[in-house]
A and B are shown apart, each in its own frame.
Chain A
Amino acid sequence: MSEAIKKFMFVNTKAPYGTVYALESLEVVLITAAFDQDVSLVFCDDGVFQISNNQNTEASGMKNFSNAYKALGDYDINKLYVEKESLEERGLTLDNIMDLTYEDDDWAEKPSIKLVTRAELADLMDDQDLVISS
């Protein structure tokens, strides 16, 4: 393991299931956290569909990996930014999005998801060492 800590931001722009990018990106996110890096995730454009509620893959035969997002908090990944405009453009609100949480140092349950505007997102990206989008 390296002593250097870098700020990794994973920008998810694609819907899940139609392509494998969302699933395989999540695997990179988990490994990056295992390297004790500063990890944050962005859900924008069709990426917001990755964390939509009530995903049911029973009849499609696809592997349902939506529960993996719920486990992110256990890996200390608790900076999940959802772009407000992307939700609005798709007729969605936070009610359509999974309730993702983490436990803080006092074991209090806190929300991991933060709604941000497009302009705020631009600032957040600008502040990273690495921005990896898929």
Chain B
Amino acid sequence: MAMLHTVNKSPFERNSLNSCLTKSKEGSSILLIEDAVVGALKGTIVADKLSAAIANKNVYVLGSDLNTRGFTEADILDGIKTVDYAGFVDLVAEHSNVQSWL
């Protein structure tokens, strides 16, 4: 089973999304939560990096954190899936372990 990585910081402020993208393997999954959800938006300076990741990793965003910050599924890059907290729990259960990139 592959790993689940969570990232919780905006890529415009911290390097943790980049660390996660460069140190996660193909076939693993990345879930953006809290302030990291803004990394999923279209047209940002990290969009290309994230689009490249989507090609061989599963990228998810926590929908409630997106909504909390004023955005919806329509605002995020194609290929990023939205999950709720129950979906977050499922992702944890379905992957071999979870690394929180703090």
Contacts and interface: CB of A to CB of B under 8 A. Distances in A.
Contacts of B19: 13, 44-45
Nearest to B15: A45
A13 B22 contact: no
Given A45-B15, A133-B102, A121 B97 contact: no
Contact of A126 (B3, B22, B98): B3
Interface residues of B, number: 16
Tell me the dominant secondary structure on chain A's binding face. Answer: mixed
Interface residues of A, number: 18
Interface of A: 11, 13-14, 21, 44-45, 118, 121-123, 125-126, 128-131, 133-134
B16 interface: yes
A133 B3 contact: no
B97 A130 contact: yes
Interface string B1-37: 0110000000000011001001111001000000000
